[in-house]
A and B are shown apart, each in its own frame.
Chain A
């Protein structure tokens, strides 16, 4: 490997790592910025008893009846609870909405009427809080997050239906669907886009006049737009394809023709909506690249050396296509973004859908985890494409490696 090559690699790898670190931090903090503080749950029986004894309240939680029929408002009681709790050295803010939801799922309201029940509630809250690494503040939680990136679990889901399953298990359910949907769709879109662009450049006339405005139009439609259009036309109106899910409800995944054909049937709408988005952007770029290459001096020269037109067209498309590899690398992020939207619209059980569900369930660990895995996939793809491109295109090689 030459010195220039090494330098090129070093540069690319350093950039990759920097982006990765930034991505991890963003994926951690951004979802958590949405998380507001919940109402603290004042369920510690020891403190409740202390307050009651000191101020002569009867047994109860929160709002309590005073002897002599006067009521004290909840705020006042809360202040007392806090004071007494601190005096006892046991005060704690148990206000994490997702943990509360998890605890409430296991302890019935009936049980909460006893000290044992309340104690069990608090113990359960503390245990889950520790389990999720949320007992050490935001930094502790970040550390916990990073730790579990490295053990590959991405922490545990805080969804009531999933806890204590790991985020990794959720990702593994969705990732196959996402990969099977998006990689073929983006690649096909890229190829079709390039072929269309090239043909438009080579044939001009009808192709150029019809295909290019269409491509421009499609590339200008936001990702959800094309999905919704396909859904309305082919799903709702024509009823050719199902409008949601990856396979019919009630079907059990199995390696049978019946199941596979059902999956393929469900596959069409989300697949083509992603292809459509990818085609538009690529075709426009490829057309101008091809026109540029077709006018290059080497085309004329090769012609006058007696080289066949077919061969020259292959030269041209190869040369125009190569820069499109970086086009792919650059567009892969936006494509995946669009693809995630398509997944949600068609309730396709991929990572996009998982993320969408996680957001609505305040499941921050899963939001961060799925977002991070998508980011990493995009980064790796872009990184590899960049490296590959530099090797297959001697023009870049000459420019970059010297």
Chain B
């Protein structure tokens, strides 16, 4: 069995609102990724996927707070470490992050090369300016980025280039886990493809040892990651391989998501788009039972009042639902016949 790069156990984090209320937007999340693998996280906006990305780094600042659970990166538990130790030895080296708004992720008044210098220096690595420059140049050349970009400010780069530069900067220290939060949603399809190719190449060549990819674009996720995990209201509701999740989703919410995929392919026009009525619950007062029950057409009273654990029903496949897998599949099959 391949080495586990990231193991997250029952991680719970919360936001404390200005009114002092606790909002548990990541609730007992467990996940793991093996070396060389990628995991996709899907879900509606507000389901907690971006918060999960931030929570996984073990570095918290208000309004986000750590509550419980553990994060183990390549055998090292990073929860409970001193924040400055996390900053110096985990961020950028163990876990790197590509933010949602990568267009504005670079300091507008700092040249790319200088910023890389700041990153290296923040980790107190024994390198002088010349060595850092050499390393940056080599890395840019390897990733197919123009070396001149190092002497430019972010405003001087085009959107797609800026995005790829951010990825190059994030991964400059060869992180064990790369967390990418919607890295390509602001780009047009051609730039998106270039960004994705670059990220896949980095994973394949081992520059990055594993990857978490967050997006609401399911066709993209399907093509990028090995596994897909669906989040709903701060919890994981289902996990499986990308292929299984797209073609054989078990959880009613995952099924709703997967049935909303629209791609320019034969057959798409015949698909019946499924609308999921309603909105996700308010996490200030989460429902006692299944969090999706309010919107679920198969929900029973038991669903609404009994806490719902997550269960493994096949190797590598977990789900969180009050109905059995067989039952759900039967229902789906009869629906598809209609």
A binds B: yes
Chain A residues with a Cβ under 8 A of chain B: 296-298, 300-308, 311, 315, 318-319, 322, 393-395, 397-399
- B288 contacts partner chain A, Cβ-Cβ < 8 Å: no
- CB of A332, distance to nearest CB on chain B (Å): 23
Give Cα A259 to B88, complex, Å: 56
Q: Which of B90, B102, B104, B166 neighbours the largest number of chain A CB atoms within 10 Å of its CB?
A: B104
Chain B residues with CB under 8 A of A297: 99, 101-105
Name 14 extra pairs, CB < 8 A, besides A315-B109, A394-B155. Answer: A296-B104, A297-B105, A298-B104, A304-B96, A305-B122, A306-B90, A307-B118, A308-B87, A315-B110, A322-B109, A393-B109, A395-B153, A397-B153, A398-B156
- CB of B168, distance to nearest CB on chain A (Å): 12
Give Cα A305 to B88, complex, Å: 9
- B59 contacts partner chain A, Cβ-Cβ < 8 Å: yes
Q: Which 4 A-B pairs have the closest CB atoms?
A: A306-B91, A394-B153, A398-B155, A301-B105
Contact yes or no, B59 A303, CB < 8 A? yes
Contact yes or no, B109 A311, CB < 8 A? no
Within 8 A of A (CB), among B104-142: 104-110, 118-119, 122-123
Give Cα A303 to B119, complex, Å: 10
Contact yes or no, A306 B92, CB < 8 A? yes
Known: A297-B101, A311-B122, A319-B107. A306 touches B170 (CB 8 A): no
- CB of B145, distance to nearest CB on chain A (Å): 18
Contact yes or no, B104 A305, CB < 8 A? no
Closest to A302 in B: B107
Contact yes or no, B97 A304, CB < 8 A? yes
Give Cα A319 to B170, complex, Å: 22
Known: A308-B87, A398-B153. A319 touches B99 (CB 8 A): no
Give Cα A399 to B108, complex, Å: 12
Contact yes or no, B108 A305, CB < 8 A? no
Main secondary structure, interface of A, reads helix
Chain A residues with CB under 8 A of B212: none
Known: A297-B99, A306-B91. A315 touches B107 (CB 8 A): yes
Chain B residues with CB under 8 A of A300: 99
Chain B residues with CB under 8 A of A318: 109
Contact yes or no, B118 A311, CB < 8 A? yes
Known: A296-B104, A398-B153. A305 touches B92 (CB 8 A): yes
Known: A297-B101, A303-B59, A305-B92. A319 touches B109 (CB 8 A): yes
Chain B residues with a Cβ under 8 A of chain A: 54, 57, 59, 61, 87-88, 90-93, 96-97, 99, 101-110, 118-119, 122-123, 153, 155-156, 166, 169-170
Contact yes or no, B99 A307, CB < 8 A? no
Contact yes or no, B110 A303, CB < 8 A? no
Contact yes or no, B107 A306, CB < 8 A? no
Contact yes or no, A306 B153, CB < 8 A? no
Known: A298-B105, A311-B122, A319-B107. A305 touches B155 (CB 8 A): no
Contact yes or no, B108 A394, CB < 8 A? yes
Chain B residues with CB under 8 A of A395: 108-109, 153, 155
- 7 CB contacts below 8 A, A to B, read A298-B104, A301-B166, A303-B61, A306-B93, A315-B109, A322-B109, A394-B156
Contact yes or no, A298 B118, CB < 8 A? no
Closest to B107 in A: A298
Contact yes or no, A307 B122, CB < 8 A? yes
Chain A residues with CB under 8 A of B166: 301
Chain A residues with CB under 8 A of B107: 298, 302, 315, 319
